[in-house]
Copies of this chain bind each other. A is one copy, B any other.
Amino acid sequence: MTKPLIIVNLKAYAEGMGERAGIIAAAAGEIGEESGVTIGVAPAYTDLHPIAMHYAIPVYAQHIDGVAPGAHTGHVTAEQISAAGASGTLINHSERRLTLANIEGSLAAARKFDLQTVICTNNEATTAAAAALSPDYVAIEPPELIGTGVSVSKADPGIIERSVLAVKTVNSRVKVLTGAGISTGECIRIALDLGTDGVLLASSVVKAKDPALVLRDLVSLI
């Protein structure tokens, strides 16, 4: 069985950049070590390099553009994030949707640099489609639950079960994360029991007064 993966998406939160990014990354490293759970973070592009240099945890970009190096002002390439020390990238997050052609382009670009790939999806059908592209992970996040504090694993366990099944049918090597509203160890426990390989979460950790406290609870039932 794969070791569960927790990715903390720092988004563009004021509470997740600069020094705070370091505090969260430090907590991820410490609690990951204690618990044996892999805890990664996805910081702002500008924080990628310092976070990747200072902390022995997986660091993800929040997005990459599937373009080769060249005349692409304002774009983020696989080469750039790899050089900055990232070990993977989110692709097609609900706040940064891509065309199908560009999802595939980003994936292909990431593979050239051995970057781990996590394609985000919004429902069962798009999860199956994403799995057909053979990323390392698909992360299913029902958009109506994102940022609500209502956990997908409690509110809609069916969508997780159906998504896990859809992924396994299309490409059984693809692993499944889930997200939206995950805030406690119990939420993660349920998510794992429903067949996922981990979770993608954000505000519950990033906006916490003490991120380490939340992370410690999150891994408590794994």
- Taking the closest CB of chain B, its distance from the CB of A121, in whole angstroms, is 7
Candidate in A45, A70, A73 with the most chain B CB atoms within 10 angstroms:
A73
Q: What separation, in Å, do the CA atoms of A59 and B195 have in the docked complex?
A: 44
Among A28-36, A90-98, A183-191, the one that faces the other chain is A90-98
Q: What distance in Å separates the Cβ of A214 from its nearest Cβ neighbour in chain B?
A: 17
Q: Is A158 an interface residue (CB 8 A)?
A: no
A120 to chain B: closest residue by CB: B73
Q: Which of B18, B45, B134 contacts A76 (CB 8 A)?
A: B45
A100 at the interface (CB under 8 A from B): yes
Residue positions of A touching B, CB distance < 8 A:
9, 11-14, 17-18, 42, 44-50, 62-63, 67, 69-77, 79-81, 83-84, 90, 92-104, 107-108, 121-123, 125-126, 128-134, 146-147, 166, 170, 202-203
